Structure 1
Amino acid sequence: MELNLNKSDNFVQNHKKLQEIFGDNKVKFRNEIGVDYTKRVHIVQDVDQINMVKNEQLQDILQQDIIEFHECKNLGYVLINDFKNIAFKNCKIEIFESRKSDTEIKENLTFLDCEFYSMNENIVLNSTNFKNIIFKDCIFNSSIKISGSKFENFIFENCDVNGKFIANDCIFENANFKDSHFYDIVNLKNSIFKNNVYFNNSIFNKFADFHECEFKNTASFYGVTFCQTPNFSSVSFDKKAILINMAFNSKTFDDIKRDCDEEAKNRLNDDKHTNKPEQEIYTKVYSDFRSSFALLKHTLNSSGNLIDASNHHKAELYCKEMELECSLGIKKYTAKQQNKQDMYIQRTDKQDINIIRFFKFIKFIILVLILILIWSIKSMFNIFRNTAKFILYLLLFTIFTILLYLFSTKKCAWKRKILISINKLKINNFTLWFDYMVLYLYRNTSNHHTNLNKIFNFTILMIATYGLNLLCTYNFNSFVIQQGMEAIYTILSIILIGCLAILVASNKKKIHLLSIRAIVFLSLVFTMITLPLQHISYVTFGILMYGLFTFLAFYLFMQKSKIAIIITKTVSYVILVSVLLIHPELINPTLNIFNKENMQNQLLLEEINKANYEILSNLTRLSFRDCDLKSETKFDEGSIINQREIIIANKETLENMFDLLFAPKSIDNFTGNKDDFIKTKTIVENQDIYLKIYNAIKLDKINSQTYKSTYILYILVMILCLYSLTKTARKNSVM
């Protein structure tokens, strides 16, 4: 069809002008038959470098008629503020920009199979109104920036965006972002979607920010893939959001933390946040992501999707842990913040005199406490052997030397840092630290009650750990009693405290400062208790031993190496089977162990059952502090059971008698008939059965008290494990 150029209507005149601008062979027309009338369209083909700003004739035509540009491979920078209907098909455009115009609304803007090749910006739309805008099958090599614009219909289908997609503070009546691939950041914050909006099957390779968006109608994220954690904080869904098959590639704690930290760094690099403290920025980011997961969890719960909701709840707790971690000051300073901290420390140089006085005072108090401690435990030196005494003196001297150095009056920057941190320390921080540690433990043991296999294996490991601890402790106690080395419990307790300190020091980069303070505080408490209370030092040793076993088991459980996992699980199940065969009561931590007399007298009963009538008679006399073992008093067979009951009931008295009989120079402390004492001691020392009974009494006491003390801790551990196990199992059964 040919156009009659002799006619004088506007379309014909505009067509002539286009031919003059671009050439006769490059300008055609097409009639489109609509419902009410026939539309005529100008078609411009294969042209380069259109200057629409300086060409007033072309601008007038754009405001009147429909123009399509086909197969234009080098359009360059295209700036169109006022237009009616314009389309680009299979074109290559450097930049397209449209700013606020005089027209009230721009009717149609269409891009089909177009490529935008600028490496800076591809689309710039600022504070303008559009009726219909369509992007289909387009490729963008850089950013799309839309700000403060309004769209009646916005279609963005099957497009690849290699740069950022930013559409802030916009209003979309209807929007469609189906099947598009966003390779860089997407930012739609503060935008309003009045009617339906669809993101179906789109892929977001990097951070997608939807915070403070308003979805007035259906918002469909069906089949959407987020390669990094998105931000949905403060989003409002007035109607149900479709979140079916919405996938998050960032599922683990490390992945989500990496995404959060990356967003925090981006905000730190933003000019708007340059003057804000780093800790404030990180805390705000973690809080935003936590709110985002909470919103998605609530939305999924309301639609009955419990599986995905539990995953978002898990991620919500991840972010809460990060938030607490940041609030507690675990994150390190950047170079900028570190310089500020150094300047602050330098300003404290004027306070050096007061600091030195403070450390002098602390030094004096420490020395006084050490002297009081040594004086209070001087009585225990009598039970030490020479080697143990030497080791204790050496240990005290080492502690004194370390404290002397730590609180010396020499200028030291890190001492000022310690003092500054003490001044800044708040009691409330320990509450936050406790919440942080609870989240940390639940994440590593059950993944916040979502991983049944993990919590089951951890429970098995805790049972096996306690069983192994009992085996090692009992065998060690037996060795110590047989060798007469009870004094070694104090030294070993201090060594175990040192081992825990070394473990803390070796993991100082992973352990929070408050964790170190708590461990140091508990270590000092155990040290202060262990030294003066020698008669229960074995209990302290047992508790520390169990604590060390539990710490090592937890450390091995967290290892990600396949070899470590296989070895840990194998050993755990082997020990579990052994526990089932030997001590099945350990499986049920709620058993009342304090009323089990057999536990308290197990070894003593075994030795008594081996003894003859004469030995039982002598033990009965010794139970009543009767040292005359040559007495002719006889006991018949019927009284054997009564003798056993008497011996067991008076085993403490019997132990005290054996203490005198087997202790060197004990005759000097005996107040009775010394001739009878000498005869009794000779008889007892010549028969090993008495020594075995003596050792059995002591070993029963040590094992029983150690078992009771450690069992309390074991009950607490198992209650937490069983709680997590049942809660995780219930969630999995619901799923």
Structure 2
Amino acid sequence: MDNCVFEKQCKIQGTFKDNVHFSNSHFYDYADFHECEFEKMASFYGVTFEKAPNFSACYFKEQKAVNLINVDIDKLNFKSVENYIKDNYKDKNYKDEINKTQNEKSISKIENKYKLKCAKDCKDSFRVIKDVLTNQNNTLEAQEWHKLELYAKEKELLFEVENCHSKNNMRLVAIKSQDKNSINLTVDLLLLCIYRITSLHHTSFTRIINFTSWNIAIFGILIYLMSLLSLSFNEKSIFWFWGIFIFIITSMVIVWKVFERKKLYAASLISCTFVIFLASIYLVINMTILSSFWYITFAALAYCFFVIILCYFYSCIETKPKLFYWLNCIVYIILISIIIVKPQLINPFIGVFSSDKIYESQLEKKLNDFNTSAILNLAKISQKDFNLSMDYKDISFTELNSAKKALIDNKENITILQDEKLKIAKEFLGDKYEQILQTINQDEIMQKTIKPTSILYSIILLLCVFSLQKTARKNSIVS
């Protein structure tokens, strides 16, 4: 069957005791070779597969005699695996079981069972060809089939996780062996998903380079945005931001659940949520002890949000390659700017152990813009001394530096003034007092947010570096 064109789905079965040739044939639809036995040479030289073939349970007696040179599987990707399962899981046994039940939950379980079975068959199909190529010491080509095998494994894990959840019925019970199994499967699924998105399971060096560059650019942009936002953020504004965010998410979930179940009490539920939201905001605003927690949470979740969006974009990269080409160009411009302005951001641990290398305190710079009287008065206020004066002369450089140091060490005292003392400070210092408050607030927010965000950034960047070296090693002709 050399140079044949198979326009529609074909199924080839049986035991072949003589040589078999499919050289330069083109399969436009699904090619089903499952359970075939090849006792002699099987030549697939130059064969093109437009869709995922099925070699599940195939037997090649002489693996060295299998010719898989120039097999074209360029169009096979994660979407191809998804389509294969979607198009092939409804076999005769599935239809028989479906016809016997009308229960929606039972139908869902049956569908999940046969999708899982189809995913396992798909995984075994790719494994068969991978084993043949590995036996022939063709590791580079075997990697491509192993990548497809991992795609199928990811879908298999997804169906297994769904199966575990349906069995548990989302019960809030103590963790049992089945629940532990579900957690382990979910972790494995997430790992496979991350490796697929970032480097196509360590087969695309360009992709992991781009992903790493995106992460550095995202962290640099986040630090820049936080420095701008910190000028206008205070405790109340950050609380209101999170309150509104939680309210919107809660309302969306409620509305979705209500419309999903076709109930009529959406308005009452949302009204109750709104009342709870207002009460919560009032309590949170008065719990100033939580301010650090909210700043940290905001920065950490903002970074996670950007990374999740990045992962989502990368999962769609095959469908919109031109868009990603231009986005990558923009990212590399940002990356070059970061290397020129703040090259220390490339170091994954710089923000964890020495955040001042990323963000320099603005307080000392701000003090350099003030006159001697303003600095000494601010230093007095930081020491809780309100005998202020605008007439300071013959102040030595050493005394001025001591005043600055005292002010920086006790800056918290400036931010908690009330009533008469606040009035005195504003009367003597005017807008300088507001400026120094804003600067202290900016420094406080940045110091509280850089370290936790840097921890997340360092973990992700280290994983990227690990993936970079592994991808480079696996794709090296030397190794």
2-side partners of 1:679 and 1:556: how far apart? 53
Verify the 8 A CA contact 2:235 2:291 in the aligned structure 1: no
Spell out the pairing of 1:575-614 with structure 2 (5 A cutoff): 575-591=334-350, 593-597=352-356, 602-614=361-373
Shift of residue 222, structure 1, vs aligned partner:
2.3
CA 1:504–1:303: 2 relative to 1, 3 Å: farther
Q: Which amino acid aligns with 2:130?
A: K
1-side partners of 2:422 and 2:239: how far apart? 33
2-side partners of 1:466 and 1:572: how far apart? 12
2-side partners of 1:423 and 1:487: how far apart? 35
Of 217, 221, 226 in structure 1, the residue corresponding to residue 44 of structure 2 is 221
Of 171, 187, 195 in structure 2, the residue corresponding to residue 422 of structure 1 is 171
Spell out the pairing of 1:132-281 with structure 2 (5 A cutoff): 158=1, 178-189=2-13, 191-194=14-17, 196-239=19-62, 240=64, 241-248=66-73, 250-268=75-93, 277-281=110-114
1:547 and 2:304 aligned:
yes
Q: Which amino acid aligns with 1:711?
A: S
1-side partners of 2:57 and 2:383: how far apart? 80
1-side partners of 2:326 and 2:375: how far apart? 49
1-side partners of 2:336 and 2:358: how far apart? 21
1-side partners of 2:386 and 2:447: how far apart? 29
2-side partners of 1:418 and 1:493: how far apart? 35
Structure showing greater relative contact order (alpha-carbon pairs closer than 8 Å, 6 or more residues apart) = 2
2-side partners of 1:733 and 1:503: how far apart? 49
2-side partners of 1:229 and 1:731: how far apart? 24
2-side partners of 1:238 and 1:715: how far apart? 50
Q: Which amino acid aligns with 1:681?
A: A
**Residue-by-residue CA offset, 1:621-663 (whole Å, 9 max, x unaligned):** 3343333335999853234444443333x23xx3224421xx3
Match of 2:138 in 1: 305
Verify the 8 A CA contact 2:362 2:439 in the aligned structure 1: yes
Of 243, 248, 251 in structure 2, the residue corresponding to residue 494 of structure 1 is 243
1-side partners of 2:360 and 2:7: how far apart? 72
Spell out the pairing of 1:367-406 with structure 2 (5 A cutoff): none
1:450 and 2:195 aligned:
no
Match of 2:269 in 1: none
What SS does the corresponding residue of 1:246 show, helix, strand or coil?
coil
CA 1:501–1:295: 2 relative to 1, 3 Å: farther
Match of 2:150 in 1: 317
Shift of residue 187, structure 1, vs aligned partner:
4.1
Q: Which amino acid aligns with 1:699?
A: Q
Match of 1:76 in 2: none
CA 1:196–1:486: 2 relative to 1, 3 Å: same
Match of 2:396 in 1: 636
CA 1:681–1:418: 2 relative to 1, 3 Å: farther
Verify the 8 A CA contact 2:296 2:449 in the aligned structure 1: yes
Shift of residue 204, structure 1, vs aligned partner:
4.0
CA 1:246–1:271: 2 relative to 1, 3 Å: farther
2-side partners of 1:321 and 1:187: how far apart? 26
Match of 2:291 in 1: 535
Match of 2:434 in 1: 691
Verify the 8 A CA contact 1:462 1:718 in the aligned structure 2: yes
Shift of residue 575, structure 1, vs aligned partner:
2.5
**Residue-by-residue CA offset, 1:504-550 (whole Å, 9 max, x unaligned):** 99999xxxxxxxxxxxxxxx9xx999775532222222233333333
Decide which structure has greater helix share: 2
Shift of residue 703, structure 1, vs aligned partner:
1.0
Shift of residue 601, structure 1, vs aligned partner:
5.6
What SS does the corresponding residue of 2:195 show, helix, strand or coil?
helix
CA 1:595–1:461: 2 relative to 1, 3 Å: closer
1:291 and 2:124 aligned:
yes
Q: Which amino acid aligns with 1:263?
A: N
Shift of residue 700, structure 1, vs aligned partner:
0.6
Decide which structure has greater strand share: 1
Verify the 8 A CA contact 2:231 2:441 in the aligned structure 1: no
Verify the 8 A CA contact 1:628 1:680 in the aligned structure 2: no
Q: Which amino acid aligns with 2:336?
A: V
Verify the 8 A CA contact 1:492 1:541 in the aligned structure 2: no
CA 1:590–1:734: 2 relative to 1, 3 Å: farther
Match of 1:624 in 2: 383
Verify the 8 A CA contact 1:463 1:576 in the aligned structure 2: yes
Match of 1:681 in 2: 425
2-side partners of 1:498 and 1:430: how far apart? 29
Q: TM-score, normalised by structure 2?
A: 0.76
CA 1:722–1:255: 2 relative to 1, 3 Å: same
2-side partners of 1:235 and 1:636: how far apart? 90
Spell out the pairing of 1:426-505 with structure 2 (5 A cutoff): 426-480=179-233, 485-497=234-246
2-side partners of 1:217 and 1:566: how far apart? 47
What SS does the corresponding residue of 1:310 show, helix, strand or coil?
helix
**Residue-by-residue CA offset, 1:254-299 (whole Å, 9 max, x unaligned):** 1232123222123556769977922222111111111221221222
Shift of residue 444, structure 1, vs aligned partner:
2.8
2-side partners of 1:298 and 1:229: how far apart? 17
Structure 2: gaps spanning 5 or more residues: 101-108, 258-276
**Residue-by-residue CA offset, 1:324-375 (whole Å, 9 max, x unaligned):** 2222339xxxxxxxxxxxxxxxxxxxxxxxxxxxxxxxxxxxxxxxxxxxxx
Q: Which amino acid aligns with 2:30?
A: F
Verify the 8 A CA contact 1:267 1:281 in the aligned structure 2: no
Q: Which amino acid aligns with 1:468?
A: I
Shift of residue 603, structure 1, vs aligned partner:
0.4
Match of 1:703 in 2: 446
Verify the 8 A CA contact 1:493 1:530 in the aligned structure 2: no
**Residue-by-residue CA offset, 1:186-226 (whole Å, 9 max, x unaligned):** 4455x444564444344444433333444444433223333
Q: Which amino acid aligns with 1:288?
A: D
The number of residue pairs the alignment matches comes to 435
Q: TM-score, normalised by structure 1?
A: 0.52
Shift of residue 683, structure 1, vs aligned partner:
5.1
Shift of residue 182, structure 1, vs aligned partner:
4.7
Shift of residue 715, structure 1, vs aligned partner:
1.8
Verify the 8 A CA contact 1:199 1:222 in the aligned structure 2: yes
**Residue-by-residue CA offset, 1:12-53 (whole Å, 9 max, x unaligned):** xxxxxxxxxxxxxxxxxxxxxxxxxxxxxxxxxxxxxxxxxx
Q: Which amino acid aligns with 2:206?
A: N
**Residue-by-residue CA offset, 1:657-711 (whole Å, 9 max, x unaligned):** 4421xx3x3x5xxxxxxxxx58953654x34333322322221111111122222
Structure 1: gaps spanning 5 or more residues: 1-157, 159-177, 331-416, 509-523, 668-676
CA 1:466–1:530: 2 relative to 1, 3 Å: farther
Verify the 8 A CA contact 1:497 1:544 in the aligned structure 2: no
Verify the 8 A CA contact 1:268 1:281 in the aligned structure 2: no
2-side partners of 1:313 and 1:505: how far apart? 42
Verify the 8 A CA contact 1:456 1:725 in the aligned structure 2: yes
Shift of residue 312, structure 1, vs aligned partner:
0.6
Match of 2:407 in 1: 647
